[in-house]
Structure 1
Amino acid sequence: MLNLDYTEHAVLDVRMANDDLFELVLKRDGLEFSPGDCVAIYTDQEKSRPYSIASGPDEEELRFVVRSMDGGEVSPWLMRQRPGGSVRITPPFGWFRPGQDIGTADFAFIATGTGIAPFLSYMKSGARAPTQCLYGVRHETDSVGFGDLKAFCPTRLAVSREQSGHHFGRVTDLLDTLPLNEQVHYYCCGLESMVNDVSAWLQAKGIDLSRIHREVFFHG
C-alpha cells in the first residue's frame, strides 16, 4: 500500500565507493532531522527500506551510505538513479541517538559497513568527539568517511577480506582497545551479528546493558 506521508527529493549524485557501495545524495529541501535518524526510501514500485541519514544536520544535502545487494528490492534501484531524477522519502524517525542524553559521560562508537552512517551524521553536527571509534569493513574501499572520522576522533579500521595498512580481521578483534569503566557509553551500529557480539563482550566485561546503545542494519 502506498504511504502518502512522504516528500519527493531530487537526486543530486550517486557517488560510487566501489562496485556495490555508494553514497546517494539528495536535495534536502529543508527536511529537519537529528543524527541517528532514518528515513524510508521508496522505489517506483512502492518498495521501501529504511536508511540512516549520513549528512550533518546543518548540511544542505541529504546523504545515505548504501550497499547494493544482489536480489535486493531497493538498493540496486537506488544505485541506478541519476541526477535529474527524484526519490520519495518518509519523514525522519528513530531512537538511536549517538552521544545524546548522557551528560558529560565519555562514549565510544563501534560500526560495521553502512552502520557508520549515523556516526558520520553525528560527526558533522559539531558535537563533542567520542573517546574512540572502531570501524569494520570488508574492503578498504568500503570505509566511507574514514579520513574525516580519523581527524575527528581516535579511529581504528578493521578490514576483514584483504590485507591493507590497517588491522586485518573483524572489528570485534579490536574491542580490547575500548575504554572500560562504569561511566562510558557504547554505541554499536551495523549488522546484527556484530552488534550482538559487541553487546555480549561488553556485558561479560561488566558493562551494564543501559550503557550499550544498539542499532541493527539490514540490507535490501
Structure 2
Amino acid sequence: MVFSTDGEVPYKEGQSIGVVADGQDKNGKPHKLRLYSIASSALGDFGDAKTVSLCVKRLVYTNDAGEVVKGVCSNFLCDLKPGADVNITGPVGKEMLMPKDPNATIIMLATGTGIAPFRSFLWKMFFEKYEDYKFNGLAWLFLGVPTSSSLLYPEEFGKMKAKAPDNFRVDYAISREETNVAGEKMYIQTRMAEYKDELWELLKKDNTYVYMCGLKGMEKGIDEIMIPLASKEGSTG
C-alpha cells in the first residue's frame, strides 16, 4: 500500500510509521496506534520522497470461543479505497536502520510481512542511484512463508538478482510445500541450516550485520543453528 505524504513524513530505511484506524473501540475511545514497518526506501516507490509504502496482511482468526476476530487496523487498511485519507504518525524506530558501510555483508531473515524493512533496504541498494552511496557488499535474504502463493515481491527480487548477481542472494523457505533431505518442513531456520558453515564464516567478519523481522518464534530456531557453530570455535554468544 502506497500513501502520499507530500514529503511531510521524511523517514529512513528500516523505520516504522504509526497508523490510527478510523472509528472507536468498544469503549468509545479512539483506536490505538498500530506500528508498521516501512516497506519503501527513503525516496519512496516513485523516487520523489513524497510517499511511504507498507506491506499489510489482513488479520482474521477464530478465537477459543469460536468467534471470528478481525484485526482492527489491518482490516481498516485493507478495506480502504484509493484516495482515502489515513491518520499516520512517525516515523519511529532506529533498531533496523541500514549500516552505512557500502561494503558490508547484510543478512536479512524475514517471515511473511516481515519482508517490509528489507524491501526498503534492497530498493536503496539495487534500484536507486546516489552520489554518496553505492552498495558493493553482499545482501543475503532468507524469506519464510507458508505457501508459494504468499511469497512477496518475487518479481522485484528477480530483477535485483539479475542486476547484481554477485551482490544479492535470496533463499525462500516455503513451509507447507517444501522439506529438507530429512523430510522436515522447510522453515527459515531449516533453509539456513543448509548454508550454516558459509553463514558462520560470514558472521565472523567485522562488517557483517544480521537483521530479523517477522514472527518472534523464529529466534529460537535460528539460535539452534548458530549456537553449536559458535561453540565449535569457543564462542558462547
Amino acid at match of 2:95: F
- Give the conservation status (yes or no) of the 8 Å contact 1:109–1:130: no
Larger radius of gyration: 2
Matched, 1:148 2:156: yes
Find the counterpart in structure 2 of residue 76 from structure 1. 75
Matched, 1:26 2:37: no
Q: 1:157 aligns with which of 167, 172, 187?
A: 172
Structure with the higher helix share, 1 or 2? 2
Rounded Cα–Cα distance in structure 2 between residues aligned with 1:61 and 1:135:
25
Amino acid at match of 1:62: V
TM-score, with normalisation over the residues of structure 2?
Answer: 0.69
Find the counterpart in structure 2 of residue 97 from structure 1. 96
Of 126-135 and 33-42, the range deviating more from structure 2: 126-135
TM-score, with normalisation over the residues of structure 1?
Answer: 0.74
Q: 2:221 aligns with which of 191, 197, 206?
A: 197
Mind listing any 5+ residue stretches in structure 2 that lack a counterpart?
24-29, 45-49, 61-68, 126-133, 161-167
- Give the conservation status (yes or no) of the 8 Å contact 2:13–2:98: no
**Distance apart, 1:186 and its partner CA:** 1.5
Identity %: 24
Instruction: Report runs of 4+ in structure 1 exceeding 3 Å deviation.
Output: 101-105, 207-210
Q: 2:191 aligns with which of 167, 174, 179?
A: 174
Structure with the higher strand share, 1 or 2? 1
- Give the conservation status (yes or no) of the 8 Å contact 1:57–1:124: no
Rounded Cα–Cα distance in structure 1 between residues aligned with 2:175 and 2:122:
24
Find the counterpart in structure 2 of residue 137 from structure 1. 145
SS in structure 1 of the partner of residue 114 of structure 2: helix
Find the counterpart in structure 2 of residue 188 from structure 1. 212
Two-structure CA RMSD over aligned residues (Å): 2.7
